A and B are shown apart, each in its own frame.
Chain A
Amino acid sequence: MLRQQRHSLALASRDYFHEWRISICFVLALAAVLGPMLVLFGLKFGIVGAMVEELVEDPLKREVRPVGSGRYDRAWIDRLRKREDVDFIVPRIRSIASTLSVSSEQAGRILQFEVIPSAPGDPLLDPQRPAPSGLDKVVLSASAAKKLQVAAGDRVEGSLLRQYNGRRERVSLPLQVAAIAPATAFSRDGLFASVALVEALEDFRDGHAVPALDWEGVTVVRDRHYTGFRLYARSIYDVAALQDSFERSGIDVRTRAADIESVRRMDRTLSAIYWAIALIGLGGFSLSLGASLWANVDRKRRELSVLRLVGFHTGEIILFPVVQGLYTAFFGWALACGIYGAAAWSINFMLAPQLESTQKICRLLPEHYAAALAITAGASMLAAILAGIRAARVEPSEGLREI
């Protein structure tokens, strides 16, 4: 039985390549419809993809920032941290207290850095590199590290000053640079420190004692309050809901929700336009493919009748146009991918100056190519099977006597 199918397959292939001129026409007709569709999809996917990627990749777009200062306790912060839609949250202290003078042996001058409370999982920091921890390991922003001329692993010296008991008091704080933050994450001079260290700095300035660092002062702080927080939503799609929830509880926050919404609206608009074109294109594509395969089977009725005459079964007759349809589908698809490749390359090349190096305006993923092949092969097979059944139904005597 299998021998018969193999034979049928071999004959169908022979016929297809024997009639290479007509086969090329079918392949061209298919590629002429499929190629532009791929370009269209590549553009839609590339443009929207680049915008969404920019939004998703950039943690600043996920930030939810309280406006002004409030009064939040640790329990409230911890409750927020447990929320599904919150990726990261650390408390902030008063901004006056959150600066630190830092010097290094290499630079030989003292610089004022903004101190940013941080913790493992901080979206602004590289997850591959160590996070700030303890009271001595800090992460410097790229510009701060450059000014201090230090690299990860180097030591720097922090120093802070307070007015205590009517006199100026200065303490020094030996620090180690655990890592340097990516330049894109934070553009100013900053020092990412653990929450514990930030609290210690605030306590010292307020004249409290910090036993862990042997800093003297009045009582140790127990009931601590924060004036703000650094919060990042799990994804850009959670930002709007988070903003709503804060505003309902009376906390005024600032987010990029408007930006995000405009990109999403654009995505929806582009998608709608694309699908409208794609549906029309797919309709035309199926019709053209179906019609050409159908016409081809009709043209071959006599030859198929000869096969019927010498004893081919219905299934083997149907296999004939199916095999040829699959050849057309495959070659047409390959050519369409070629057309797409050339078009995409030139579009990306022309628009390269306007784009960041890695961005591509016209782009497809391997699964898109696979889907295109599957749809094409499926449509060809369907058309070929229908045409093949019709051919097999024709009485061989009719087919043979065709003029």
Chain B
Amino acid sequence: MPASTPETIYQLKDVAKTRSSNGYTFGLRVPSLRICRGEKIALIGESGCGKSTLLDLLAFILQPSDAGDFSFCAGAAGTVDIGAAWRRQKRNRLAALRKAHMGYVMQTGGLLPYLNIYDNINLSRRMLGMPADDTVENLARELGLVRHLHKLPDALSTGERQRVAIGRALAHRPAIIIADEPTASVDPFAAEKIMSLFIGMVEERNITVIVASHAWRHIKQLGLRRLAHHTRRSADGRMIETVVSG
């Protein structure tokens, strides 16, 4: 592998996403970003600064408007040129990468309402054809969900659902987990508890994690690396640009 050392998972150079609506334009620019295996990254910033946009780019669920160099390397598959995959609309290829190497925790929801908690946590494992062992039970025990395993998501509280989403993201032992404000919809006390639990579980399994959050104080205690970024507004306020690097 010429450009990146084996530990590098993400290598981005001059990747950008511009979105505009109603004459207002938002631009996210990543001149250079490198994320290595086992790193724990925090993305902290005010609302609307582009955290979700960056995470979606990193999860291959949002097409970059511009991708100078965007490569992803996870395990045996070797380095994949994500920019090229998007240009050639290889959505299935990207989906396969997500399936095998990635877990994603959304701010809320993201569970399938028709599957019980066990099956929701087991979803990715089942898709990958992984054996039905005690992984799900063990995760449920750690996340305090054992008594809910056979309920449907609508019978759970928001915090419990977030823990289910964390369980699902972890269950197939992905190389990387992306979490977009996983605790934003629960009260600060519960948020701290869930976040600590989450980071602890990720650390234990040596999984790379990228998490967006607004509670920096707590995140700092957990030892995450903060991605540097700054947001600029144009004089008329019609253009916002966020530049991320790290």
Interfacial residues, chain A to chain B (CB-CB below 8 A): 3-4, 7, 11, 14-15, 18-19, 302-303, 306-314, 392, 395-397, 400-401
> Could you tell me the distance in whole angstroms from the C-beta of A5 to the nearest C-beta in chain B?
11
Establish whether residues B106 and A7, one from each chain, have CB atoms under 8 Å apart when the complex forms: no
Within 8 Å CB of B114, what residues of A? 11, 14-15, 18-19
B176 at interface, CB cutoff 8 A: no
Establish whether residues A313 and B62, one from each chain, have CB atoms under 8 Å apart when the complex forms: no
Given contacts A15-B114, A18-B113, A392-B91, 16 further A-B contacts (CB under 8 A): A7-B126, A15-B112, A302-B109, A306-B110, A306-B112, A307-B112, A308-B61, A308-B95, A310-B168, A311-B97, A311-B99, A311-B102, A311-B127, A313-B92, A313-B95, A395-B61
Within 8 Å CB of A311, what residues of B? 95-100, 102, 124, 127
> Could you tell me the distance in whole angstroms from the C-beta of A283 to the nearest C-beta in chain B?
33
Within 8 Å CB of A11, what residues of B? 112, 114-115
> Could you tell me the distance in whole angstroms from the C-beta of B182 to the nearest C-beta in chain A?
14
Establish whether residues A400 and B112, one from each chain, have CB atoms under 8 Å apart when the complex forms: no
Selected A-B contacts with CB under 8 Å, 11 pairs: A3-B129, A11-B112, A15-B112, A18-B152, A310-B127, A311-B97, A311-B127, A314-B91, A395-B62, A397-B56, A397-B59
Within 8 Å CB of B10, what residues of A? none
> Could you tell me the distance in whole angstroms from the C-beta of A226 to the nearest C-beta in chain B?
83
Question: What separation, in Å, do the CA atoms of A312 and B168 have in the docked complex?
Answer: 15
Establish whether residues B61 and A396, one from each chain, have CB atoms under 8 Å apart when the complex forms: yes
Q: Which B residues between 49 and 67 are near A, CB-CB below 8 angstroms?
A: 52, 56, 59, 61-63
Establish whether residues A400 and B110, one from each chain, have CB atoms under 8 Å apart when the complex forms: yes
Query: Interface residues of B, CB < 8 Å — how many?
Result: 31
Within 8 Å CB of B92, what residues of A? 313-314
Question: What separation, in Å, do the CA atoms of A19 and B112 have in the docked complex?
Answer: 12
Closest to A19 in B: B114
Closest to B115 in A: A14
Question: What separation, in Å, do the CA atoms of A3 and B112 have in the docked complex?
Answer: 19
Establish whether residues B61 and A309, one from each chain, have CB atoms under 8 Å apart when the complex forms: yes
> Could you tell me the distance in whole angstroms from the C-beta of A307 to the nearest C-beta in chain B?
8
> Could you tell me the distance in whole angstroms from the C-beta of B148 to the nearest C-beta in chain A?
17
> Could you tell me the distance in whole angstroms from the C-beta of A153 to the nearest C-beta in chain B?
74
Establish whether residues B110 and A309, one from each chain, have CB atoms under 8 Å apart when the complex forms: yes
Closest to B169 in A: A310
Question: What separation, in Å, do the CA atoms of A396 and B99 have in the docked complex?
Answer: 14
> Could you tell me the distance in whole angstroms from the C-beta of B194 to the nearest C-beta in chain A?
20
Question: What separation, in Å, do the CA atoms of A307 and B111 have in the docked complex?
Answer: 10
B123 at interface, CB cutoff 8 A: yes
Within 8 Å CB of B72, what residues of A? none
Within 8 Å CB of A4, what residues of B? 127
Closest to B116 in A: A14
Establish whether residues A400 and B113, one from each chain, have CB atoms under 8 Å apart when the complex forms: no
Question: What separation, in Å, do the CA atoms of A279 and B113 have in the docked complex?
Answer: 40
B118 at interface, CB cutoff 8 A: no
Within 8 Å CB of A400, what residues of B? 61, 106, 110
Question: What separation, in Å, do the CA atoms of A18 and B100 have in the docked complex?
Answer: 28
Within 8 Å CB of A302, what residues of B? 109
> Could you tell me the distance in whole angstroms from the C-beta of A116 to the nearest C-beta in chain B?
76
> Could you tell me the distance in whole angstroms from the C-beta of A22 to the nearest C-beta in chain B?
12
Query: Given that A397-B62, A401-B52 are contacting pairs, would A310 and B113 also be in contact in the complex, using a CB cutoff of 8 Å?
Result: no
